[in-house]
Structure 1
Amino acid sequence: MTPKKILRRPRPPEQGSWGQNLPPILRRLYAARGVKSDEQLQYTLKYLASPMELRGIDRAVELLADAIAGKQRVMVLGDFDADGATSTAVAMLGLSMLGIEAIDFRVPSRFADGYGLTPGIIHRLREEGELPDLLVTVDNGISAIEGVRVARELGVKVVITDHHLAGDELPDADAIVNPNQPGCPFLSKNAAGVGVMFYVLTALRKYLRDHNRLPDPEPNLGNLLDLVALGTVADVVPLDHNNRIFVEQGIRRIRKGEARPGILALLEVAGRDYTEISATDLGFVVGPRLNAAGRLDDMSIGIACLLADSRDEAQRLARELDNFNRERRSIEKEMKTQAQDLLASMSLDLEGLPWGLALFDDDWHQGVIGILAARIREQTHRPTIAFAPDDDGEHLKGSARSIPGLHIRDALAAVDAKNPGLMKKFGGHAMAAGMSIARDDLERFSNAFDQAVRDTLQPEDLEAAITTDGPLAPEELNLDTAYLLKRAGPWGQHFPEPVFDGNFRVVSQRIVGENHLKLVLQPFEGGGIIDGIAFNTGPEVPDYTRTGARVVYKPDANTFRGRTNLQLLVDYLEPLE
């Protein structure tokens, strides 16, 4: 394991209006996450922010209502990640429920088209005779200046729904709904693309209801919340109160078996019991299988799985997605080995590496470079960009992942400001971004990126750290605590799942499976024997039975052969001095 500093999350005073029945451990954990009242833990839909606070939503609703009345052809343009897939499915299902009859979707090819609404996609729709009357983008469009221009020149009306950060210029669309566009007062700036589209649907339903134009019976948009939850978690947007409502409501539907057949099928192929799922399962089990289609082939397969009405069709597509995910893991493993060889050729230790890493190999796969960048970032605790060859042979496509303290899109903007034209295009968020450069400019870009990182970070920012909620008392190390914490979510980005640390005697240890470390632990403060498991430690680990270990862990309920016991999921451990 890469050495890490273990930091403890500050424990602010447990102030605010708490219900008498809230256990002390949850008061402490919620307070440390900025929760000040029970209201922030209420996850019913009435606590959602109003859709009418979204700038541009009135005009978007008018255009969609006109499309219903005029029986216009509507095309949904999605994206090739899980947020884009769920956004597309929500748009297709929701607009159909509300009265759009002629509706279809397209997803750009990661390899042939690149990201978003491009002029090439519009021209291809025209050549195929598929130009719609109204085009609705989901999870993309805010940077599609040229794509929107070409579409409107050809008589297509364009509604953009997106959540990505806007650039200096906005596209001249007929309507833009994006909480992150300038001048938008909507409070939840963290909405995923699927959340934005869901809001458009709720506003459209209200408009149709107010004008006595709703279908009978009135459509229940709550049936889409499993998709909204999946896209929100898989896109790793911060789980503010609004997003936690979406996720909790969606998880409740899934646990009751009321989810889309495709989501239930994806859980089944992964061996997960849908009645027991958590947000973590959406992010680490369902999301990767859905994403694998867009990474290796065509995200239309993933969307088809989400749209499938029959269990048989959903299971067939879920198995196909599971196979894609297995292939993705194999490709990723090989690419990671190559990346580690590259790192070794740069330096013998972390201190000698650039502060900002830009890695490239001719054999790397465009669809997997984002995951590779994340893995290398985890290993080195440095902002990392992985490049793969573009299909034209002259350019490289890059995917970036950052560390706390560096807004990666801002860093790329700084590179662009000092080196105009070096990047052909770029965009992204605080922690992830994408860009395109000329193959011959790789060295120049690498140096410029490293300098931009050095201009922003301090040496201590490059020290890997893991933040915990401190120790659990011996009497808290039990199954009741594990169950309590699981029910206390949803946990996720910026509302992290509780992680604890403590000193343990290691009674025994052994490597099991594919380099996982099985432990038998006993707290030094007293208490009984507890099982622990640390995944992907590698075959060589210290002998913790001689030294004891400081362990960073999550309590978990582990069922084996019909018996359920407490098990510690070990995120990190180090020998005691």
Structure 2
Amino acid sequence: MNPVLRQRLLPPGHAIAGVHPVLDRVLRARGVASADDLALGLDNLLPPGTLTGLDAAAEVLATAVMQGRRIVLVGDFDADGATSVALGILALRWMGAVEPGYLVPNRFEFGYGLTPPIAAIAADQGAQLLVTVDNGISSHAGVAEAHAHGMQVIVTDHHLPGPSLPAADVIVNPNLTDSRFPSKSLAGVGVIFYVMAALRQALRGAGWFERRGLAVPSLAELLDLVALGTIADVVALDRNNRILVEQGLRRIRAGRCRPGLLALLGVGGRDAERAVASDLAFAAGPRLNAAGRLEDMTVGIECLLAEDARSAAALAGRLDALNRERRAIEARMQDEALADLEARIDGDALTAALCLYDANWHQGVVGILASRLRERFHRPALVFAPAGDGELKGSGRSIPGLHLRDAIARVDSLQPGLIPRFGGHAGAAGLSLAEADFDTFSSLFTQVVADSVDPAQFRGELLTDGPLQASDLELPLAEEIRAAGPWGQGFPEPVFHNVFRVHSRRIVGERHLRLQLSPVDSPRHSVEAIAFGAVERGWDGLPETIEMAYRLDVNHWQGRKRLQLMVVDMRPLTER
């Protein structure tokens, strides 16, 4: 069933000076009130003063750097974790730290974050100060183990804290209950960026750079990593995150970024000189994530740390191969999941939540499958795979109106002990289960969702920015919208909807559809559109007159550029 199309409401207020009327309504519908709100220079970045723990973390780090103590970062195995580690290692090197190191748990051996075994490995490597990046807020046992080995621990994280905090020496997290930092949506890489900026200030105040004859590093050179991690982690693009991402994108477009990031864009077929947020989201991010999903994130981090194009290209090629393997695994799992759901559907009814498990599924890909199922069926989806010793690892994605972590916590309260570990936030969460408890959990979770969500929400809703006039279906507006980004989570790229007549259609790449269209009220105005994944959604069999939701895109081909509509949804005109 297609989602309900609903046009975004336009708040009262004056038009934004100097922008196209269509872009004006798009921006005002996203909370932009004036041209000042569009200023994305670094001078508009939130000051660090209200980020709880920042000064204390800088003091501990500065002491460790100046005393030549061994600093080891403990990261996460996703793109946010990889960029956080790379940023931290580079910044520490530039500030004179002695051989800073890193550890990223292999998800298949150690699980997530700073665990006691990871703390023990760090101790064996001579670590004296552990700094978690993009994890640690729930690492009570890992912090205790690190302390038992005589290490100090700084936790830098952005995930929601639980009822109690680990006994780290310092915690920096914008989502601590006592934090007054306005941007609660910083990614892990954004948090460590702020920490490194505070460290630089502390070292400068202590005269460290002058004594050692070191140049004071420009941390703006690391904003490409901040942009990649922020976009890949799908955090909300509030103004502060938009500044970080935009500044990183400007460096990428100017070629002043890490060789590894340029190589990742290259193997993804993207032009760095025209890079936008979606290139990070759909080309660089997935290839970086593939390492953590299938093998070990070390290869991804080393790609970002590479200092020359040749070594970066070799590592990016390995990541690209892993991503192709990941896509093949995902396609097989998706086919099996759809077959499973079809077999279990009672009439036309789906349960309130989708909980699926297969003994042959890959735990590194369950989160992607959960996202695909959520998008297709407009229901919260939790997908599980075996993790060994009778345990399952699950990853979930939610729909608007259901806080996924809270829903899992509700199941935990109904049957204490059922869920050994869980964590996450409103839109995504992960958990562990005993294989024998899967059916019990599935039943309880489905009931919790059914009790919490209005059934009308299961149809889904697609917010649009309304229809366009035929005269607006032109390249200049598409270019102006592209330049008004970065677009992403919480600041979505504009989607419009109109009724079109289809003049021609042809299948490309076996699964996609290329169309030639014209608005029904302007039959001579012909436009081209591309619909990815159209065949599996049945769009190749739609009638001649359709209602279509779409984005305006700029298609570059053989030195020329032209307007192209990117199809988001298609349906017969009669379906509402």
Q: Does the 8 Å contact 1:131/1:156 carry over to 2?
A: no
Q: Does the 8 Å contact 2:475/2:563 carry over to 1?
A: yes
Q: Which of 219, 222, 225 pairs up with 1:221?
A: 219
Partner of 2:182 in structure 1? 187
Measure how far apart 1:26 and its partner are: 2.1
The answer for unaligned runs of 5 or more in structure 2 is none
Partner of 1:117 in structure 2? 114
Partner of 1:12 in structure 2? 11
Partner of 1:200 in structure 2? 195
Q: What is the rounded CA distance, in whole Å, between the counterparts of 1:364 and 1:377 in structure 2? A: 18
Q: Does the 8 Å contact 2:85/2:301 carry over to 1?
A: yes
Alpha-carbon displacement from aligned partner over 1:400-435 (angstroms, at most 9, x marks no partner): 110111110010111111110110010001110000
Measure how far apart 1:561 and its partner are: 4.0
Structure 1 residues 385-424: aligned runs within 5 Å: 385-392=382-389, 394-424=390-420
Partner of 1:432 in structure 2? 428
Partner of 1:87 in structure 2? 84
Q: Which amino acid aligns with 2:261?
A: I
Q: Which amino acid aligns with 1:224?
A: L
Alpha-carbon displacement from aligned partner over 1:142-192 (angstroms, at most 9, x marks no partner): 000010011112110000000000000100001000001120111100000
Q: Which of 128, 133, 137 pairs up with 2:128?
A: 133
Q: Does the 8 Å contact 2:40/2:242 carry over to 1?
A: yes
Q: What is the rounded CA distance, in whole Å, between the counterparts of 2:557 and 2:52 in structure 1? A: 52
Residue 102 in structure 1 maps to residue 99 in structure 2: yes
Partner of 2:550 in structure 1? 553
Q: What is the rounded CA distance, in whole Å, between the counterparts of 1:568 and 1:102 in structure 2? A: 50
Q: Which amino acid aligns with 1:509?
A: R
Q: Does the 8 Å contact 1:355/1:453 carry over to 2?
A: yes
Q: Does the 8 Å contact 1:547/1:576 carry over to 2?
A: no
Measure how far apart 1:542 and its partner are: 5.5
Measure how far apart 1:348 and its partner are: 5.2
- Given the superposition, is the C-alpha separation of residues 159 and 524 from structure 1 closer, same or farther in structure 2, using an over 3 Å criterion? same
Alpha-carbon displacement from aligned partner over 1:328-386 (angstroms, at most 9, x marks no partner): 0000000111111110121155x522111110000000100000111111111110000
Partner of 2:20 in structure 1? 23
Partner of 2:157 in structure 1? 162
Measure how far apart 1:213 and its partner are: 2.1
Superposition RMSD in Å:
1.3
The answer for unaligned runs of 5 or more in structure 1 is none
The alignment partner of 2:32 has SS state of coil
Q: What is the rounded CA distance, in whole Å, between the counterparts of 1:294 and 1:135 in structure 2? A: 21
Q: Which of 469, 475, 480 pairs up with 1:473?
A: 469
Q: What is the rounded CA distance, in whole Å, between the counterparts of 2:96 and 2:557 in structure 1? A: 49
Measure how far apart 1:505 and its partner are: 1.1
Q: Does the 8 Å contact 1:112/1:391 carry over to 2?
A: no
Structure 1 residues 46-445: aligned runs within 5 Å: 46-126=43-123, 129-214=124-209, 216-347=214-345, 351-392=348-389, 394-445=390-441
The alignment partner of 1:214 has SS state of helix
Q: What is the rounded CA distance, in whole Å, between the counterparts of 2:146 and 2:126 in structure 1? A: 9
Q: Which amino acid aligns with 2:489?
A: Q
Q: Which moved more, 1:555-564 or 1:168-177?
A: 555-564
The alignment partner of 2:40 has SS state of coil
TM-score if structure 1 supplies the norm length?
0.97
Measure how far apart 1:285 and its partner are: 0.8
Q: What is the rounded CA distance, in whole Å, between the counterparts of 1:11 and 1:227 in structure 2? A: 34
TM-score if structure 2 supplies the norm length?
0.97
Q: What is the rounded CA distance, in whole Å, between the counterparts of 1:141 and 1:543 in structure 2? A: 50
Partner of 1:518 in structure 2? 514
Q: Which moved more, 1:351-360 or 1:295-304?
A: 351-360
Q: Does the 8 Å contact 1:122/1:131 carry over to 2?
A: no
Q: Does the 8 Å contact 2:20/2:477 carry over to 1?
A: no
Aligned residues: 569
